[in-house]
């Protein structure tokens, strides 16, 4: 019978599954037309509390196996969510991990950065981060905290107030606002 190609390793060392034409987005590319033939599964079967993992790693070294220390602000890995715009794949959203302080032996401070692309824009903008201290910032890249809270909501633009809305089942809510008037009074 006729055999069908199941996978290919191209001349650049890329493993292509379900396609013979690389998109040049990585060393492993899986393409398909259904959920089942375009996804990946990692499953650990063990009588223990352990799980499986996907490891996204970064070193400042220049050869495979290097462990040269990274620096504050370095991106360690990201998950990019892309959609076709008719001619190319474009970023709609991204979750990225970055070094959040000075690393050293047994010390790797990190932050998670969540970004989305606005309607009419072509690239993601940071919307929220969780820093190495556990502070959450929405609308700010430098979330500050005090002794009673670690959520910092900020807004930008003239006349825009930072706002949090809490709602219940009856669709009414509590709006929490803070702003500063022209004299510097905080309300």
The vertex-142 CA angle with 67 and 81, nearest 5°, equals: 65
SS3 82: strand
* pTM (2 d.p.): 0.81
Residue 9 pLDDT class (50, 70, 90 cuts):
very high
Query: Predicted confidence band at 182 (pLDDT cuts at 50, 70, 90)?
Result: low
Distance CA 163, CA 30 (A): 42
pLDDT digit string, tens, across residues 66-91: 999 999 999 999 999 999 999 999 99
Mean pLDDT of 17-27: 89
**pLDDT digits over 95-126, tens only?**
999 999 999 999 999 999 999 999 999 899 99
Mean of pLDDT over the chain = 87
- What the block records as the tokens of 173 is 């809510």
Which range of 3-12, 21-30, 76-85, 172-181 scores highest in mean pLDDT? It is 76-85
| Count of C-beta atoms within a 10 Å radius of residue 31 | 14
Residue 187 reports pLDDT greater than 60: no
pLDDT tens profile 140-178? 888 887 666 788 888 765 555 666 766 666 656 565 665
Angle at 90 (CA atoms; ends 73, 138), nearest 5 degrees: 45
């Amino acid at each position: 019978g006729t055999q069908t190609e199941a996978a290919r390793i191209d001349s650049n060392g890329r493993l292509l599954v379900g396609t013979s034409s690389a998109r040049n987005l990585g060393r492993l590319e899986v393409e398909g037309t259904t959920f089942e033939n375009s996804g990946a599964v990692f499953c650990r079967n063990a009588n223990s509390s352990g799980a499986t993992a996907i490891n996204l790693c970064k070193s400042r070294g220049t050869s495979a196996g290097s462990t040269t220390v990274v620096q504050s602000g370095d991106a360690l890995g990201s998950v990019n969510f892309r959609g076709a715009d008719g001619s190319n794949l474009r970023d709609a959203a991204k979750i990225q991990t970055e070094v959040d302080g000075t690393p050293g032996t047994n010390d790797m401070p990190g932050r998670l950065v969540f970004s989305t692309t606005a309607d009419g824009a072509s690239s993601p903008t940071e919307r929220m981060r969780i820093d190495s201290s556990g502070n959450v910032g929405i609308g700010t890249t430098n979330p500050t905290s005090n002794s009673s809270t670690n959520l910092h909501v900020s807004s930008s633009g003239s006349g825009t107030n930072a706002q949090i809305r809490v709602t219940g089942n009856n669709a009414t809510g509590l709006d929490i606002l803070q702003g500063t008037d022209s004299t510097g009074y905080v309300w």
